[in-house]
Every structure is written in C-alpha cells, then in structure tokens.
Structure 1
C-alpha cells in the first residue's frame, strides 16, 4: 500500500490484495466467531443483526474493492490513480472495524 501512493501501477495490486483480505477476514468472523462484548449486553436480536449485517457489508465492500482494482483501475492507471487511492484510504475504516471485532481470532 505504501508503494501505491507514489507508483500508479501498484494501485490495482493494492486494491485487489486489500479487498480480498478484508472480505476473507469479515467472512471468517461471520463463520467462526459469534457476537460478543457489547452485542451480548443488549437484549433482543437487533444486536446480532447489526453484527452480522455490518460484517456482511464489510465483506461486500471488500469484494467490490477487489473487483474495482481488477476491472476498472488497470484500464487507465493514470486516470484512476486518485480514485484508487481514495478507495484504499476509505477501506482502512472497515479494516479497523474487522480487526476491532476480532479479525485475527481465526488464526489461533
């Protein structure tokens, strides 16, 4: 990702890589880890829907990011460089969310 800031030809690779990692971590949380923490303190099924809905949205965002890096950016790297960098910066927020929910817990 650091190289993608200066070299426009690295942006598609960074987008694909980060999108796949983001989707894989979100899907692993959906499959292998049940809601915990704040999601257990609140009563009712709404916190579970928020947990799984948020992780589903992150997984879809990661797949969209990877497809953006595969289909759109390589066609005109110089023209899409700014948009690709913006998507990379925006993908840091869902990545932090996934890691905060225990994104590396499935590596144990």
Structure 2
C-alpha cells in the first residue's frame, strides 16, 4: 500500500506545482505499466471472470490490462515531453494525470498493487 500512497502524494504535489508534474507523470506511468504487466504475467483471472465458462470476460480482463500498459508507457513519455516546458504544457499533463487515476483504481481493484504473493 506504500506504492499507492506514494502515487497519491506525487499526484497531489504535481497538481499544486507544475515543476513536479513531469516527475509524477513518469512515476505513475511506470508504476501503472509495471503493475499491469505483473497482473498479466503472474495472476490468473478467477472468480466471477471464470464462473460461467464464457471467455469474453477473460478477454476483457486482459484487454483492460494491455490498455493500462500502453497508457502507462504513454503517460511516462508525456512526462518527458512535459519536462521540456512544464508551465506551457501543464494543461496536457494534468489531463493525462487525471486519466491515470482511472487506471490506478482499475489496477488496484484487480490486485496489481497488492502485497500478496502470486499463486
């Protein structure tokens, strides 16, 4: 849970100070992509996703995780782009940062930031 606290502090600091925005974008992007990749490779979907034998929910699960990886990488690159002119590119950076909160919530709900060992 320390990871979620660190992300929340970085986002909070970045929304107040444009100079901290690139750091928050890069940190959140790398952590989102890493957590989603760990779910893809080390966690098998279970529970309601496999309840009825329908594979559509499993494909949606992996589709959301792949989208989170792609968004995390794009967010990190946006952080590098924003670092060139933090004051001028602040609006784009803040919009990307707000969308990243959605992916942080999804990944945390799926167990990407849990400290439980993989099965």
Give the TM-score normalised by the residue count of structure 2: 0.83
Say whether residues 1:79 and 2:88 are aligned partners. yes
Partner of 1:46: 56
Give ranges in structure 1 of 5+ residues lacking alignment.
Answer: none
C-alpha distance in 2 between matches for 1:6 and 1:104? 25
Give the TM-score normalised by the residue count of structure 1: 0.91
Q: CA deviation at 1:107?
A: 5.0
Partner of 1:93: 102
**CA 1:107–1:68: 2 relative to 1, 3 Å:** farther
Does structure 2 conserve the Cα–Cα contact (< 8 Å) formed by 1:23 and 1:63? yes
- Helix, strand or coil at the partner of 1:75: coil
C-alpha distance in 1 between matches for 2:99 and 2:25? 11
Q: CA deviation at 1:106?
A: 5.7
Does structure 2 conserve the Cα–Cα contact (< 8 Å) formed by 1:29 and 1:106? no
Does structure 2 conserve the Cα–Cα contact (< 8 Å) formed by 1:28 and 1:106? no
Q: CA deviation at 1:60?
A: 0.5
Partner of 2:7: none
- After superposition, the C-alpha distances for 1:2-51 in whole angstroms (9 at most, x for unaligned) are 21112111000000000000000000000000012221123232221111
- Helix, strand or coil at the partner of 2:83: helix
Select the structure with the greater relative contact order (CA < 8 A; seq sep ≥ 6): 1
Say whether residues 1:68 and 2:89 are aligned partners. no
C-alpha distance in 1 between matches for 2:25 and 2:116? 23
Give ranges in structure 2 of 5+ residues lacking alignment.
Answer: 1-10
Runs of 4+ off more than 6 Å? none
